[in-house]
Amino acid sequence: MKFLIYGAYGYTGKLISQLAKSKGLSPILAGRDHDKTKALAEELDLDHQSFDLSESDKLKAALDQVDLVLHCAGPFSSTAKVMMQACLATKTHYLDITGEIEVFELGASLNEEAKKVEIVLMPGVGFDVVPSDCLAAYLKSQLPDASHLELAFMSESSTSRGTALTMTQGIGKGGAIRKNKKIIPVPHAYASRKLNLDGKDKTFVSIPWGDVSTAYYSTGIPNIMVYTAMHPGQVKKMKFVQRWKWVFNLGFVQKYLQNKVKKTVTGPSEQMREESHCYLWGEVKNQAGTTKSARLTTPEGYKLTAITSLMVVEKLMNDLPAFGFQTPSSAFGADFILDVEGAIREDL
């Protein structure tokens, strides 16, 4: 199976491309910027192409040469639809590393079209959402009649420029939860709770994480909320943003914030990627009040994204799951994350 990495020279795309080369894989590297794509391809001795996603003829010609695309160029709310539609047209399997709810919902809406042309659509094959999706599926197996799911995560690492830009775009949208099967908008920091994921009690607040979408398709649980750890000062800022979120949607404000991100955010260092960890927690509850909970520890998020995205590529090379929209756990099971060295799951 031949595959293409689009957005290969970005922070996470580069990590994936480097790991692919070290594993003996030979993806075609692609991206919008010719010079950056060429430089990385020459460094790794891999084939390359350069084109913008708006160049539909070039995009489809590139996809006609491969069986699968691993899409790494975000924000995916702006890029995923074009790439998914091109994959449907060329019968090319689609993977990406998004964590954006609207992208997962887009993939789910294209399920029947993907089945007809016999391709797999699987957004979220990195830290967003492989570990949390697998944890959700595991908890569902422990309490099959669960009606509520709560997930939480925290990272010892920092964010990449691409992640920060995506967060900046979404800051004016508010939060989201799933209630009675439907995704509903809620304020920033809508709910909070104290949790101990790494040996210390911390405050966690609700965020519009991708599992609000994917965990429903993986488990069928109708009520879902996701939390992340925040310092009290961060929570205060989120509540300020909620009061003035319309301001953050103004074009000049967005432009200012995104330019600031581009100038100041680079992403975690190699040392941070190697020494840091991510911690996840989940709990399910049924109508009778019975609960089951578990904890999951994984390598640092960007390191994990490189590992799991290529694990998915190799899985698809060897044994395709059912065609159509898939989540990592629906395709490969709840224990898929445990194939990652350093991933540890424990019941609580």
CA dist., res. 83 & res. 53, Å (int)? 7
Q: Are residues 256 and 165 in the same domain?
A: yes
Residue 337, in any domain of the structure? no
Res 166: pLDDT: 73
Query: Which tokens hold the place of 38?
Result: 């060429």
Res 69: pLDDT: 98
Which residues, other chains included, contact 335 with Cβ-Cβ below 8 Å and sequence gap of 6+?
134, 138
Q: Are residues 144 and 284 in the same domain?
A: yes
Query: Total structural domains in the chain?
Result: 2
Res 260: pLDDT: 85
Q: Which domain holds residue 45?
A: 3-126+303-332
Q: In this predicted model, what pLDDT tens digit does every residue of 9-68 receive, in sequence order? A: 999 999 999 999 999 999 999 999 999 999 999 999 999 999 999 999 999 999 999 999
Q: In this predicted model, what pLDDT tens digit does every residue of 77-100 receive, in sequence order? A: 999 999 999 999 999 999 999 999
Res 198: pLDDT: 85
Residue 98, in any domain of the structure? yes
Q: Are residues 323 and 283 in the same domain?
A: no
Q: In this predicted model, what pLDDT tens digit does every residue of 289-346 receive, in sequence order? A: 999 999 999 999 999 999 999 999 999 999 889 999 999 999 999 999 999 999 999 9
Q: Are residues 153 and 294 in the same domain?
A: yes
Res 339: pLDDT: 97
Q: Are residues 114 and 167 in the same domain?
A: no
- Read off the pLDDT of each residue in 278-292 and give the average, rounded to a whole number: 97
Lowest mean pLDDT of 151-160, 175-184, 198-207, name the range: 151-160
Q: Are residues 91 and 155 in the same domain?
A: no
Asked if residues 31 and 9 have their Cβ atoms less than 8 Å apart, the reply is yes
Residue 101, in any domain of the structure? yes
Q: H-type helices in 143-250, by residue range?
A: 161-170, 211-219, 232-243, 245-248
Q: Are residues 247 and 282 in the same domain?
A: yes
Q: Are residues 214 and 75 in the same domain?
A: no
Q: pTM for the whole thing?
A: 0.93
Residue 282, in any domain of the structure? yes
Q: Which bin fits 141, alpha (ψ -120 to 50), beta or left (φ > 0)?
A: alpha
Q: Given a cut of 80, is residue 228 above it in pLDDT?
A: yes
Q: Are residues 146 and 42 in the same domain?
A: no
Res 39: pLDDT: 98
Q: How confident is the model at residue 181 (pLDDT cuts 50, 70, 90)?
A: very high
Asked if residues 80 and 71 have their Cβ atoms less than 8 Å apart, the reply is yes
Q: Are residues 155 and 240 in the same domain?
A: yes
Residue 344, in any domain of the structure? no
Residue 114, in any domain of the structure? yes
Res 258: pLDDT: 80
Q: Given a cut of 90, is residue 199 above it in pLDDT?
A: no
What residues does 96 pair with on adjacent strands?
A: 71
Percent of the chain residues past pLDDT 90, beyond the cut: 77
Q: How confident is the model at residue 71 (pLDDT cuts 50, 70, 90)?
A: very high
Q: Tell me, what CATH number does 85's domain have? A: 3.40.50.720
Asked if residues 138 and 345 have their Cβ atoms less than 8 Å apart, the reply is yes
Q: In this predicted model, what pLDDT tens digit does every residue of 118-166 receive, in sequence order? A: 999 999 999 999 999 999 999 999 999 999 999 999 988 777 777 777 7
Q: Are residues 229 and 322 in the same domain?
A: no
Q: Tell me, what CATH number does 264's domain have? A: 3.30.360.10
Res 74: pLDDT: 87
Q: How confident is the model at residue 232 (pLDDT cuts 50, 70, 90)?
A: confident
Residue 267, in any domain of the structure? yes
Q: What is the pLDDT of the chain when averaged over all its residues? A: 93
Residue 17, in any domain of the structure? yes
CA dist., res. 316 & res. 298, Å (int)? 23
Q: Are residues 78 and 227 in the same domain?
A: no
Q: How confident is the model at residue 192 (pLDDT cuts 50, 70, 90)?
A: very high
Task: Dump the DSSP string for 102-143.
Answer: HHHHHHHHTHHHHHHHT-EEE---BTTBHHHHHHHHHHHHHS
Q: In this predicted model, what pLDDT tens digit does every residue of 247-260 receive, in sequence order? A: 777 788 878 888 88
